[in-house]
Amino acid sequence: MRIRELHGPHLLVALTNEEVAFLKKHKTPIIDLKSLEDRESRIAENLIFKDILCKIDNERAMVNEYVSSKN
């Protein structure tokens, strides 16, 4: 069970500078995981673990709909 499921969607999750830069760089609705470099792939895995990205299948991910896009 995810932490967000226990506390609701208004839980704030801290992001690193690299994770923010990754999200700013990949503004498309669908992120192709196979095209990422090794470091970007690891950042994407961290964002999936933090429940910011949702893995669609082994090759694609997307930003969860409840994630705020505030800068």
Is the pLDDT at 6 greater than 70? The verdict is: no
Asked if residue 43 belongs to a domain, the reply is yes
Residue 71 lies in a domain: no
With respect to residue 38, please indicate whether it lies within any of the assigned structural domains.
Answer: yes
- Is residue 68 situated within a structural domain? no
CA neighbor of 67 nearest in space, from 25, 18, 15: 15
Which residue segment(s) compose the domain that 43 sits in? 3-63
Q: What would the mean pLDDT of 3-18 be, rounded to a whole number?
A: 74
Q: Nearest-5° angle of CA 32, CA 35, CA 41? A: 85
Please count the structural domains in the chain: 1
Place of tokens 């950042």: 43
**16 in any annotated domain:** yes
Residue 27 lies in a domain: yes
Cβ-based neighbour number of residue 36 at 10 Å: 17
* Amino acid 64: pLDDT: 84
Q: What is residue 2's predicted lDDT score, i.e. its pLDDT?
A: 61
Higher pLDDT pick, 5 / 48: 48
Per-residue pLDDT tens for 12-44?
778 999 999 999 999 888 999 999 999 999 999
**Is 71 a residue whose pLDDT tops 60?**
no
